A and B are shown apart, each in its own frame.
Chain A
Amino acid sequence: MNLLALNGLSKSFGGLRAVDDVGFDVAEGAIKAVIGPNGAGKTTLFNLVFGSIVPDEGSVDFKGARLVSGHPHRQVAAGMARTFQHIQLFPQMTALENVMVGRHTRSRSGFLSSLVPLPWTRREERDICVEALAAMHFLGIEALADSDATHLAYGEQRSVELARALASKPKLLLLDEPAAGLNMRETVDLGKLIRRIRDSGVTVLLVEHDMGLVMGISDEIVVLCQGQKIAEDTPLAIQKNPEVVRAYLGDDDA
């Protein structure tokens, strides 16, 4: 069953066609990567999938249901989660509090019950805390719980953001350049982590520049160039695809 289906997505900004008739599927339990040279439209595609921006044409189906764009917060409740290329942690909150925000869609206590906490609110708060710690434990960072989130090292911040995304127990995880700023060893660890995430039942769609990571963990790769999909195949086939090579290295001019 296809967890995610992109159907003929197009989006223009002014005169620039950022995404041009892109369509592909993501099977449940897969790790799929989207690659392409800079300016290929990858981040725009991500935003379209997540519902942050509304496509000019085309649609997105998630878990078989048509996605209504423009209300990204609803996608999270439906089972999507994402991280950002430039880390967006909440300042003046601890790492644990940051991850607890990830549980927002899995908890209910509302406005009035937050003003005057009832027993069930307290219980839910404890559950949120426990689940958040569990997510941090999965990534091995529970020791950072009480630290000020924005004062952590870069790699640790990335982990906190990932824990926040995982805390909502998503079915689909969108990773936007998760290896950005990581050194070789950290990237290898990241690859192992992504596999562990997939093995725990989360489908992963990632945008990435690091070819080693992409080739190493992806089941399938989609290649975008100037907004268009130019290839979709297994890593080995992609590497041999002449169009892909040309897109990255450019034409051989005289």
Chain B
Amino acid sequence: MSRSRVLPLAVFAALIVLVQLATGAAGKGQYLTQLTMAGYYSLPILGLTLLMGYAGQISIGHAGFFAIGGYVSGFLTTYNLTELSGRWWVRAAGRLHLLSSGQDAFGSPSLVMRAWPACIAALLITVVVAYLIGKPVLRLKGHFLAMATLGFGTIVYRLVLGTSALGAADGISDIPAFHLLPGLDVSGKSVLRISNYYVAWGLVLVTVILLGNLIHSRIGRAMRAIHGAEEAATASGIDTQDTKLKMFVLSAVLAALGGVFLTHYNGGIGPSEASIMKSVRMVSIVAIGGMANLWGALIMGVLLNFLSMRGSFGSYDDAVFGGILLLIMLFSPQGLLRADLARRLLRLIPRGPKEPAT
């Protein structure tokens, strides 16, 4: 990895640790909770940055994937299979160590899926859904694609809102902790606050590293080529539909991953996580962060989500995000933190006399 990539990553890692120590020292440990949540919300945002900024495909329905991740995992880890314990597939799942038995809140026996297999299942389902939706829809352009993704997000919202098995308007609650590793749980217990903070931000760090690898690779170049000049990309031998689809699925999986982890962290999930406004929020953050700028989207995402969660925007939450989106698109469509901003600023620094041409 080149030095220009390692440095920001090192700074980022250091910052993560510093923030945690600082909040501890200042006695504001509870900030960590919101920072952890902001971290998990960053995952779909990073995925969307890849999709919209680098691959150039719009999606106004990505909260749908976030919700699919959270709801599938939440459902599987809370749905009591005790009644069905005689069925062959339940017994098979038990033998494969996919289930965990215990007691529910009322003391009666409960048999639910463990968090790890539930998480894997959620991600696999997301891959399938993203592939099925993406394959036909990514052929479309512009308004059609936007509307189709908007439609997809709305369908997910309506489905989770209207299905009683998924808790309808109340969503799913009492979702158990995610036993990541022996001794490492993803849950909202305040005693685990610090370790959970590191889990979340560790995940974000790994994601940034992987996405960075992708962007600078052969596939990443292909993706950027498609965005820049699709006809020329095809003429260079790139299978544009295949590449777009892969980017779409990857961004969906990232969103779902965020959904899974956040759901276990919060112990619950509700239909609002699938709402169009959440999707619009993600698009706003990607736009203001500079479209094709992973760091920009990350910084803006954390900032805005953190403030939003602390209630700084009051009941005007949606208005703030919508307003930001509007202003950015009107006046600075390439975002505030443009990728080439640094380069442009550096050009303003007066240089010495040019070397004479030989």
Contacts and interface: CB of A to CB of B under 8 A. Distances in A.
* A adjacent to B, CB under 8 Å: yes
Interface string A85-123: 000111111000100111111010111001111000100
Contacts of B219: 109-111, 114
A92 B228 contact: yes
A114 B239 contact: no
A128 B217 CA distance: 11
A115 B235 contact: no
Interface residues of A, number: 38
A50 to B, nearest CB: 7
A84 B238 CA distance: 16
Interface stretch (A6-14, A32-40, A69-77, A246-254): A69-77
A168 interface: yes
A115 B217 CA distance: 8
Interface string B224-257: 1100110111111111100000100010000000
A187 interface: no
Interface string A134-172: 000000000000000000000000000100100010000
A121 B236 CA distance: 20
B218 A88 contact: no
Contact of A89 (B211, B232, B234): B232
A151 B232 CA distance: 18
Contacts of A92: 224, 228, 292, 339-340
Nearest to A102: B236
Contact of B217 (A50, A72, A91, A114): A114
Of B210, B211, B219, B339, most buried by chain A (CB within 10 Å of CB) is B219
A126 to B, nearest CB: 12
B221 interface: yes
B231 A114 contact: no
A125 B229 contact: no
Contacts of A75: 237
A97 B221 contact: yes
Main secondary structure of the interface of B (DSSP, over half): helix
A81 B232 CA distance: 10
Nearest to A77: B237
A101 B213 contact: no
B228 A50 contact: no
B228 A93 contact: yes
A50 B229 contact: no
A101 B210 contact: no
A82 interface: yes
Interface in B273-318: 292
A26 to B, nearest CB: 19
B337 to A, nearest CB: 15
A121 B238 CA distance: 18
Instruction: Report the contact-size class of chain B (Cβ under 8 Å from the partner).
Output: 20 to 34
Contacts of A164: 236
Contacts of A77: 237
Given A114-B214, A116-B213, A101 B339 contact: no
Contact of A88 (B211, B220, B229): B229
A164 B235 CA distance: 10
A100 B231 CA distance: 16
A76 B222 CA distance: 14
Of A76, A77, A84, A111, most buried by chain B (CB within 10 Å of CB) is A111
A141 B292 CA distance: 28
Given A101-B221, A110-B219, A88 B232 contact: yes
A153 to B, nearest CB: 14
Contact of A76 (B221, B229, B235): B235
A91 B340 CA distance: 12
Contact of A121 (B210, B217, B225): B217
A114 B229 contact: no
Interface string A29-47: 0000000000000000000
A124 interface: yes
Contacts of B246: 111
B342 to A, nearest CB: 14
A77 B237 CA distance: 6
Nearest to B237: A76
Nearest to A71: B239
A73 B221 contact: no
Interface in B199-220: 210-211, 213-214, 217-220
A109 B236 CA distance: 16
A176 B173 CA distance: 63
Contact of A90 (B214, B224, B240): B224
B218 A109 contact: yes
Of B214, B237, B292, most buried by chain A (CB within 10 Å of CB) is B237
Interface of B: 210-211, 213-214, 217-222, 224-225, 228-229, 231-240, 246, 250, 292, 339-340
20 contacts: A73-B234, A75-B237, A76-B235, A81-B235, A84-B232, A88-B229, A88-B232, A91-B229, A92-B228, A100-B221, A101-B225, A103-B218, A104-B218, A104-B221, A104-B222, A105-B237, A114-B214, A115-B213, A117-B213, A117-B217
Interface of A: 50, 52, 72-73, 75-77, 81-82, 84, 88-93, 97, 100-105, 107, 109-111, 114-117, 121, 124-125, 128, 161, 164, 168
Give the 10 A-B CB pairs with smallest separation, nearest first: A76-B237, A114-B217, A105-B237, A88-B232, A90-B228, A114-B219, A88-B229, A90-B225, A91-B228, A115-B210
Given A107-B218, A111-B250, 13 more contacts: A50-B235, A73-B235, A73-B237, A76-B237, A84-B235, A91-B228, A104-B222, A114-B220, A115-B213, A116-B210, A116-B213, A121-B217, A168-B236
